[in-house]
Amino acid sequence: METTLRGVGVSHGVAIGEVRHMGTAVLEPPAKQIPSDEAPREQGRARQAVEAVAADLIARGNLAGGEAQHVLEAQAMMAQDPELQADVERRIAVGSSAERAVYDAFASYRALLANAGEYLAGRVADLDDVRNRIVARLLGVPMPGVPDSDEPYVLIARDLAPADTALLDPTLVLGFVTEEGGPTSHSAILARALGVPAVVAMPGAGEITEGTVIAVDGSTGELFVNPSAEKRAELEEAAAARRASLSATSGPGATSDGHKVPLLANVGGPGDVPAALEAGAEGVGLFRTEFLFLDDSAKAPSEEKQVEAYRKVLEAFPEGRVVVRVLDAGADKPLDFLTPADEPNPALGVRGLRSLLDHPDVLQTQLRALAKAAEGLPVHLEVMAPMVADRIDAKAFADACREAGLRAKFGAMVEIPSAALRARSILQEVEFLSLGTNDLAQYTFAADRQVGAVSRLQDPWQPALLDLVAAAADAAKAEGRSCGVCGEAAADPLLACVLTGLGVTSLSMGAASIPYVRATLAKYTLAQCERAAVAARATDTADEARRAAQAVLSGE
């Protein structure tokens, strides 16, 4: 009997195949006491297991490259956290075995995250995965991970850790579904990078029996259990139509009546550039520079190292636009040399531009490196600050850029509601705005972007979020400035049309989404996009907004 479940579609495409579930998580080790004279040996075992797991994660990152590499390197740093290691050794010293000490130390750290208001809860899946890998190595049992199979399948998991998602084989894993997670989780971002259809935040998916045939639509978020022949044909026909539409559309992004909407790529380092070029990106709308700083959390990378990495990306887009976000540290990306270790609520504390203004030497080094990297290149370099709250922040950043001798446009990210509401004031100091819709939604709705339980509030179709986008876009238009979107909202082809109708001047996304957005924009006029935007903002829920926009664009 065919049944339908609904989650949040995060990566386009249709997958039809048999279900395979993730391997069983590592069981809780027994709580047994060890003699005191065995403590040194157990402490040594724990250290060796930690180093082996960290090395494995780094190796996986090197294989995966791109966005996945810096995610996995951050996980390796989590495994090697000095405070966690000290806690493990303390527990062993009072009688715990190595595996039990690791299990309990990670459980304690997990509880600390929850007590901090769950602003770091988005990394709980990563934390659990590190724990499971260390405990598995100590117990001598197989690592948790994707199942072995000779035949293609659709993977179902409670959640997917980055180490698993990064190395999925698209020839075997047709698509995946998770019960938890959100549209901006690491798994969702990496799924889009891989081009694997995916749906997240789907409660009940784990109850589907192994071997059951399902159909997953990563565009609509629907899952069909035991789909009928008619439903399979319908889904495959729709997928074929999407592919045909993609191949028929090329060139710069534009509406059907010629209104230009540059389509840019979000990149996490030089490794993401080939995919962006292949997708026809017109430049880079978000160059995340954190990958350079995650190699060593104790100190910032040298100016020379930064120049080398930045120039590789700038050289790839001659005459193109490259928008660089300066270091966005803090909250879920803590750095020992930069961010406070004892903040009770890190996401609402000293992060992003606030951290850099507290450490002007770090900011100046990065800005000088960007200036040197762009020397002699025809690229249009733009540099923006994360987490700008008001005009004072914007002025401080613009002054720092001038002090560093940076010949580029200076901009501000709109991720805090105050920045959207007072965008015109901020534009007295900077030359462009870029909307980070992931964080903007998080702060607008007080809903952690990685917590599946509040994923409906992270839906970028929420009318309140569209209101803030409109406010920022209107302010930019009034000041004769540009206002792009570099959050994951831009990757939704239908929403891309609405954002265009709201007055957004460019869209930046993961490379895999660019062809879908290009093809969809090319179907509609600017006037249609504007009417769809008005219809979406006139509703009260995300689902209503989506349906209203679809109705306008389909001529209903």
Q: What are phi and psi of 534, to 5 degrees?
A: -60, -45
Active-site position among 12, 359, 401, 486? 486
Torsion angle, CA of 441/447/450/452, rounded to 10 degrees? Answer: -120
Q: Running along the chain, 556 residues long, what does each successive block of 10 average in pLDDT?
A: 84 91 74 89 94 85 70 81 90 93 87 48 69 87 73 89 73 89 71 83 90 92 93 88 76 96 93 90 94 75 94 93 92 71 78 94 97 94 98 98 95 98 98 95 85 76 97 98 93 95 96 90 97 98 94 90
Query: With a threshold of 0.85, does the pTM exceed it?
Result: no
Quote the tokens at residue 306: 């930064």
**Helix, coil or strand: residue 486:** coil
- 497 is annotated as an active-site residue: no
**460 Cα distance to chain centroid:** 14
Closest CA to 130 of 112, 105, 155: 105
DSSP character string of 206-233: GGSPTT-EEEEETTTTEEEES--HHHHH
- 486 is annotated as an active-site residue: yes
Q: What are phi and psi of 23, to 5 degrees?
A: -60, 150
Quote the tokens at residue 152: 């293609």
Question: Is the distance from CB of 285 to CB of 499 less than 8 angstroms?
Answer: no
Active-site position among 186, 359, 497, 529? 186
Give CA–CA dist 62/57, Å, rounded.
Answer: 9
Residues making up the chain, counted from first to last: 556
DSSP-derived pairing of the beta strands 198-200 and 263-267:
unpaired
Cβ neighbours of 212 (radius 10 Å): 12
With both helix axes pointing from N to C terminus, report the angle between 124-139 and 186-194 in degrees, rounded to the nearest 10: 90
Question: Is the distance from CB of 494 to CB of 549 less than 8 angstroms?
Answer: yes
Residue with tokens 């008619």: 230
Cβ neighbours of 18 (radius 10 Å): 15
DSSP state of 525: -
Question: Is the distance from CB of 513 to CB of 542 less than 8 angstroms?
Answer: no
What pLDDT shows up at residue 122?
52
Give me the sheet containing 153-157, strands edge to edge.
3-6, 222-225, 213-217, 14-21, 153-157, 173-178, 198-200, 8-11
